[in-house]
Amino acid sequence: MQVTGIIEAVSQKEGRYGYKIGADWYNGFGTAEFSKGDKVTLQYETKNGFKDITKGEAEQKTEEQAIPTKSDNKTATMYTSYAKDIFATIIQTQGSQILTEDWPERAKKTMQVCIDIVKQAREAFE
C-alpha cells in the first residue's frame, strides 16, 4: 500500500521511528530519515494493525522551502523538553505554595528561568 502526505509528527525511539500523516502513524526500524513538514510518499504493509514502512521517498524541496526556520530546528524539541522537565520539578517542589492569584505571571517567569538554564547549559558545551 502507499500513502502520500505531509509529516505532522515524528517519533524517534531506540531502534525505531514513526511518522504521523493525517490520522495514521506509519512505523519503521532504525533512524527517521524525514522531518516534520516533509512531503513524503511511503510504501507500507499492514501487519497486526501496524503500518510498517517498506520504502519512503521525500518530495524535493525548492531552495525557498529548504531554508531552515526556528520552528524547524530539530534540537528545539529536545531543549523544550528539558525546560519543561525543569519547570515541572520546580512546580512539584513548591506544592500548594504556587496556587496564588499571581500564579500565571509567576509561571511565565519560572518558565523563562528554566529556558535560561537550558540555554546556559547548551552554550557551556558548544
Q: Name the band, by pLDDT with cuts 50, 70 and 90, for residue 72.
A: low
Cα–Cα distance, 32 to 29 (Å, whole number): 8
pLDDT bucket at 71, cuts 50 / 70 / 90: low
Residue 12's pLDDT is 92
Asked if 115 and 80 count as a contact pair (C-beta separation under 8 A), the reply is no
Is the model's pLDDT at 118 over the cut of 70?
yes
Q: Which residue has the cell 502507499?
A: 2
Which residue has better confidence, 75 or 112? 112
Q: What is the pLDDT of residue 98?
A: 64
Whole-number pLDDT of residue 69: 53
CA distance 20 to 34: 11
What's the pLDDT score for residue 46? Answer: 94
60 pLDDT more than 70? yes
Phi and psi, residue 53, nearest 5°: -75, 130
103 falls in which pLDDT band (50, 70, 90)?
confident
Q: What is the mean pLDDT of residues 68-96?
A: 73
Structural domains of the chain, with CATH: 2-60 (2.40.50), 70-124 (no CATH)
pTM attached to this predicted model: 0.49
